Structure 1
Amino acid sequence: MLYPLKFNPILKDKIWGGQKLKSLLNKENNLPNVGESWEVSDVEGDTSIVSNGSLKGKSLKELLETYQADLIGEKNYEAFGNKFPLLIKFIDAKEDLSIQLHPNDELAAKRHNSFGKTEMWYVMQADDDSNLIVGFNQDMTSEKYLEHLESKTLTKILNFDKVKTGDTYFIEVGRVHAIGAGVMLAEIQQTSDITYRVYDWDRVDDEGNERELHNDLAIDAFDFNMPDNFRVNYSKTINESNEMVSCPYFTTSYLEVSKTICKTNAHDSFLIYLCVDGEAEIVVNGKSEYLKKGQTVLLPAAIKNYQITSKKATLLEVYV
C-alpha cells in the first residue's frame, strides 16, 4: 500500500553556498557551504532514498520500477517510463550564482541525452537589497550579447530584480538568469542537471582555479526574443490551491492552510508538497504524516483523497 513518501535530503556543497539550509530549514550537515538540498531527485547518481514508513531505504528509481503508474500516474508513466520527471530543491545563495541558462529538450537530448531544464523559483527568504537576475534590461541580439561578454560588461545588460519572500519567477529554457547573494528559495524543475555557465564573476576556488564556462554551447541555447513575462502574479486565497505556474512540465499552486481541508487528486499524477512556512499534517486513510518548514512529501498518484490540517502553513503544491 502506497502512502505519503518523504526522502532523505541530498545536500550539495557549493562555492556560493551558505548555512541557511541548516539554520532556517534544519538540514543537519557538516558541509562548509551548503548550496542545495535536493528533496526529490532521479538524477543519475543522486537518486532520492525514502526516509519514512515501510518503504524506508528504497530508492525513487526502485519505487518507479515497482509501482509504475500507481506512483506517478498513467499518462506520466506513458510519457516518462521509469524516469521521474521532476527535480525539487531548496537553494541558499550566500554569494551570487554564476550567470547561466539552460538548453531546451531538443538541444539537451541531442547533446547530453537529458531533458531540458524549465524551472521556477519561489523566494522563501531574502536579505535586504538581495537580487535575482532574470533576462536582459534592454532588447538583445546575439551580436550585442557577445560584445558585452567579450568586454566583460555583461552585468550592464542584465536585469536585476530586488526580491522579497513570496516573489515567484518562471525561468524558461533559453533565458539568462542567476540567483543573487542573500536569497533562499524553492526550485521546481525538470529532471536535469544541465547548466550552461556564461560568467562566474571571475571568482576562483581554494586552488586558484576558475570554474568551467560553457559559452560555445550557450550561444545556441539563448532565446534573445523572449518577452519579460518571468514574474509570476498569483492570488493567495486561504485554504484553496491558487495556481502560480502551469506549463507542459509541471503545475505549481500556492496553498496557505489555516484549518482542516479535504483534498482530492483528480490529475492522474503524483502530488508533491513543499512546506515553505509553518507546519502541517497530511492524513491518508487515518494515518498522519507531518510536514515542517523545509520538508517535502510526495503523494503517489494512487492516493486520491486526503486531508491537510494546520493552524498556519504555506505549501507549494506540484503535479505534472
Structure 2
Amino acid sequence: MTDHGNGADDAIGGPMRHIPVMLSEVLAHLGAEQGRAILDGTFGAGGYSRAILGTGATVIALDRDPSAIAGGQGLLAEYPDRFSLHHTNFGKLDNFAPEGGLDGVVLDIGVSSMQIDEADRGFSFQRNGPLDMRMSGAGVSAADVVNRAKVNDLIRIFSFLGEERQAGRIAHAIDKKRLDKPFETTRDLAGLIEIVTPRKMTDKIHPATRVFQALRVFVNNELGELVSALFAAERALKPGGRLVVVTFHSLEDRIAKRFFADRAGKASGSRHLPEIAAAPVIFKPEPKQAVQASEAEAEVNPRARSAKLRCGVRTEAKAGKPDASIFDLPQLADIERLRG
C-alpha cells in the first residue's frame, strides 16, 4: 500500500505544487455542467472545486482542515452565488445536500501536498516538526498514539493501516525508546525506524513511510470517514447523480470497490447455499473497472502514480443500510475499538 498519491518518497519529500489528480477524468465522470449541484467533499487547495465551477455548476465544498477553509476564502469571493465552503468532515456530507438531492459528489481521499509541505503539521518525516498529523487540529495526535498505545495496538495499527511487515520490530523498539524519552518530533520517530529497519539499496520508499502513513490514517480516522462518506453520498445523491471516488492506496480502493460492488447488487454468497433474492441496484458502476491516471500525467505529477478513480451512477432504489460488514474488513472494527 503506497502513501497518498505521492508515490513513495514524493509523499514526504520536498515542496510540490498542488496539482489536482486526474482532473479531466473527474470532470468527465461527474458530468458537471450549468445548473447541476456538485459536492466536493475534500476541498483541499480547491483544484476540483475551481474546475467544477468553471463548468457552470454550483459547488458545495467541505474540508475538516481549518487551513483549507482559510485558503478557500478567495474562491468564495469570486463565486458568491455558486460556491459555499463548510468546515466539517465529509462523512457528514448528506447534511449539506440541497432539497431534491445532489447531482454529483467527488471525494479525493487522503492527505494533500500542502499539508505535507507544512512542517508544523507533522505529516512529513523529511520536514522536522511536531509529531502531530491531525488534519482538523483537534483530538489525539500521532505523538499521543506513539507514546501511549500498547505495543500490540501499535502492531495492529502499523500492520493493518500501513501494511508494514516489520510492525512488531518497530513497535517494540518504540516501546523501549519511549521509556527513556517521549517521542516529540517527526525526526524522533523516523530516526528510530531508520535504525531498526535500515534502508536497502533495492527499497523504493523510505523505511518510515508505512508507519507514518498508518499513524496519519489512524489519527484522522480516514478509513472510517470514507465508509461514512460513501453511505452519506448514497443518501444525498438524486437518481442519476454520480459518485466519483479517487483513492491512493489499496485499503481505500478496496473499500470503494466493495461498496460499488455491493450497491450494484452483486452477492458474494456461496454457490452451495440456497439462492436468495437479488439485492437492489443502488449504484451502477461506470465504468465497471477502476480508471488510472495516464502515463503522461503520472510522469508530470507524482501524486497520480497510484491514483484510482471509481464512479457509480445512483439509481432510483432506496438507500441501503449503512452496514460496514459489506467491506469484509474485520480489522476496521478493531481499529475503531482502539480509537475508543
Which protein has greater RCO, CA pairs closer than 8 Å, 6+ apart?
Answer: 2
Q: TM-score, normalised by structure 2?
A: 0.28
Q: TM-score, normalised by structure 1?
A: 0.29
Higher helix fraction: Structure 1 or Structure 2? Answer: 2
Higher strand fraction: Structure 1 or Structure 2? Answer: 1
